[in-house]
Amino acid sequence: MFLILSVLWFIRESKHIFFWLYLWQLKEYHVGRFLDHFKTQKGQKLVLNPLQYLKVFLLMLFILDNIVFAWILFLVYFIESFLFFRAVFNKKTKKPKLTKKTFVLILFSFLIVFLFPIGLYVSLQSIIQFSLYLLVFDILTPFIATAVVFLFQPLVILLRNNILRKAENKIKSLRLTAKAPIVIGITGSYGKTSTKEFLSTILSYKFSVLKTKEHQNSEIGISKCILDNLNKDHEVFVVEMGSYNKGGIKLLSDIVKPEIGIVTGVNEQHLATFGSLDNLLSAEGGRELALALPKDGLLVLNGDNKYCLDLYKHAQGDLEVKIYTLARGKIDSNIWADEITVKKDSVSFAVLTKEKEIASFNLDILGRQNIQNILAAILVARHLGMSFDEIAKASENIKQEQSGILLKNGKHGINIIDSSYSSNPNGVIADLEYLNIFPKKKAIIMPCLIELGEKSSEIHEKIGKKIGKICDFAIITSSEMFQEIKKGAVDGGMKEKNIVFCEKPEEILTRISIFLTNGDAVLLEGRVPEKLILSL
């Protein structure tokens, strides 16, 4: 009985150790992001669910009837083990991506899980008490996995600082050579990745360019890019810079020493993790990047964003500051767009500059919002000496997937707009405006946005209103802000019955298949189930 119960318990613990380490990795081991997850419906279900209630009840039952307690616990672990093996067979288990860090965390966690029942067996001869302690460990598993993460944090910080120091020293050593790369830092709440992709593609026409890879915008990711990929032959290094804390962009700037900075736009995304708007504006808002630039550096700002305009007012002085906008009227822009035409699979526009230069562009990218990102790239390319003819020629190499939004043909002739790469308030609004160019019925599938802090209700209601004005049908896949989206959508003109909460991929697919037909369009916004993306 000891052995069988231990094996079943070990199987159950394996699943949950993998999951909790996966969740910590998903949140980049950031305490604020990890805790904010438990404000969501999915996060709350992790700790408040029928199975957890049953296990707490079993603790109470232990006092009343020891034998019944042990047999029920045995049955629970048997069922959990069966469900785990079924999930493994169906490839539905969640486990962390294997890295050196996760390997150590997994190894140490499993050592604890392996030794714990052995230690109990040696010290306890009662199967009842043995079962009790297994159950207590079971209930405390999230805290134990978290404790393991924290236990290794000092070592992780030590190793991290060593990597950061090596990367910083490599940048310094390259600066001593005659062919040091020009470093361009890109930050903001949205548009960073697309701007990095567009700029790198354009500059590659004339220069040897290195860019940070996908999701490689943290201090470790950027440092590894420097150590593994940057060399003396690179003339330009384009760095996407992300942060969740005040001081985060300063840290990245201290490593890469940018000479040109771009702030793509700022909103309340990640407000919950920053703690305050002032902290957010310091980091993602570009203040730290502006302060890190040399006196002869260049700061490029999105003139259509109110927070960037505020930075513009305070960043002037010796530092050269340039502005890009979709139209010229709002501010004295250095570069702007005119004659904008947004089509189903492309955008065309004219680019004009303060120096009265003009060029026409026709690009295979989606959505008006990506014109802003192209303008930022053009402005920097012109600053580095590329002609408009060179830029226009280089822009022909830009691919649709670099824009973060893809247009696909569905199985039944439905237009699928895949914007599941990431999601933020400005991005949702922009994607809805693109969806609006499709003439037939339109639908959106999206989860509620996370990490918006105190602005969450207001932002979701605003998004709902936009959905109500543009969409005929909406499926929201998470429930925490569903009522706010629904209220906004109804206020925007949508029928109440046409906005629903649904989280099961099979049911979502059925609803969409019934509602949409050939020529209609559906927008997949944010982290929708991968199974759904593959099935449409």
User: Is the per-residue pLDDT at 330 higher than 80?
Assistant: no
Instruction: Kindly tell me the burial class for residue 146, based on how many C-beta atoms sit within 10 Å of its own C-beta (0-12, 13-18, 19 or more).
Output: middle
How many Å apart are CA 221 and CA 201, to the nearest integer?
21
Residue of 295, 298, 287, 301 lying closest to 250 (CA atoms): 287
- What's the pLDDT band for 397 if we cut at 50, 70, 90? very high
Residue of 61, 82, 81, 77 lying closest to 128 (CA atoms): 61
Residue of 76, 78, 72, 83 lying closest to 19 (CA atoms): 83
The residue with greater pLDDT, 450 or 171, is 171
- For residue 337, the model assigns a pLDDT of 93
User: Is the per-residue pLDDT at 66 higher than 80?
Assistant: no
* Domain ranges, ordered by start, for the chain: 2-151, 169-400, 406-535
Identify the CATH class of 169-400. Answer: alpha beta
- Asked if 410 contacts 509 with a C-beta cutoff of 8 angstroms, the reply is no
Strand stretches in 412-501, DSSP E: 415-419, 442-446, 473-476, 499-501
3-state secondary structure 97-138: CCCHHHHHHHHHHHHHHHHHHHHHHHHCCCHHHHHHHHHHHH
Residue with tokens 């810079």: 241
- Average the pLDDT over each of 55-59, 167-171, 221-225 and give the range with the smallest value: 55-59
Q: Within 10 A of 513 (CB to CB), how many other CB atoms are there?
A: 15
- Average the pLDDT over each of 34-48, 283-297, 487-501 and give the range with the smallest value: 34-48
Convert the pLDDT of each residue in 164-213 to its tens digit: 999 999 999 998 876 789 999 999 999 999 999 999 999 999 999 999 99
Residue of 481, 430, 486 lying closest to 455 (CA atoms): 481
The angle formed by the CA atoms of residues 439, 440 and 446, to the nearest 5 degrees, is 100
Instruction: Kindly tell me the burial class for residue 325, based on how many C-beta atoms sit within 10 Å of its own C-beta (0-12, 13-18, 19 or more).
Output: buried
Residue 351 backbone dihedrals phi, psi, to 5 degrees: -110, 130
Radius of gyration of the chain (CA): 26
Residue of 429, 434, 438 lying closest to 410 (CA atoms): 438
Q: Within 10 A of 108 (CB to CB), how many other CB atoms are there?
A: 14
- For residue 258, the model assigns a pLDDT of 96
pTM for this model (two decimals):
0.87
In the chain, the percentage of residues whose pLDDT exceeds 90 is 62
- For residue 63, the model assigns a pLDDT of 67
The residue with greater pLDDT, 172 or 330, is 172
How many Å apart are CA 20 and CA 223, to the nearest integer?
27
- Asked if 500 contacts 507 with a C-beta cutoff of 8 angstroms, the reply is no
User: Is the per-residue pLDDT at 418 higher than 90?
Assistant: yes
- For residue 515, the model assigns a pLDDT of 92
- For residue 385, the model assigns a pLDDT of 94
Q: The dihedral of CA 458, 464, 465, 466: what is its sign?
A: positive
What is the residue-averaged pLDDT of the chain? 90
Q: Looking at the domain that runs over 406-535, which CATH code has it been given? A: 3.90.190.20
Strands 499-501 and 236-240: unpaired
DSSP character for 497? G
